[in-house]
């Protein structure tokens, strides 16, 4: 049961291994993220860079955002969303 209305969006690019790992880990933890392919929305690349993101994936939750594969943040976010303890 979801305990919050937090929403995860992952900005990706084709062939990005860290992007694939991030998506896979969220799904394993019970969170289905929205996925936005930056190769089809190039205007977002500039916007994300202006926000300080310089690597992929970029993950946004509505309350926070980060760049790169961050297993610690993925676990914490999933735990908040699902009400389950953070996985190790």
Q: Are 67 and 15 in contact (CB under 8 A)?
A: no
Residue 54 sits in a domain whose CATH number is 3.40.30.10
Domain membership flag for residue 4: no
Extract the residue ranges of the chain whose pLDDT is less than 50: 1-4
- Residue 37 CA, chain-centre distance (Å), reads 12
Domain membership flag for residue 43: yes
pLDDT for residue 84: 76
Helix (H) or strand (E) holding 18: helix 17-28
Domain membership flag for residue 73: yes
| Rounded Cα distance, 38 and 10, in Å | 10
Q: What is the pTM of this model?
A: 0.88
pLDDT for residue 3: 46
Range of the domain at 58: 9-82
Query: 17-28 and 71-82 are packed helices; what angle lies between their axes, rounded to 10 degrees?
Result: 30
Give the chain's domain count. Answer: 1
Domain membership flag for residue 2: no
Backbone φ and ψ of 31, nearest 5°: -115, 125
């Amino acid at each position: 049961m979801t305990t919050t209305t937090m929403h995860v969006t992952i900005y990706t690019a084709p062939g990005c291994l860290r992007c694939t790992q991030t998506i896979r880990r969220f799904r394993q933890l019970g969170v289905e993220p929205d996925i936005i392919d930056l190769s089809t929305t190039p205007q977002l690349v500039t916007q994300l860079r202006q926000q300080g993101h310089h690597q992929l994936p970029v993950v946004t939750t509505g309350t926070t955002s980060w760049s790169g594969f961050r297993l610690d943040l993925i676990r914490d976010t999933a735990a908040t969303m699902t009400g389950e303890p953070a996985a190790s």
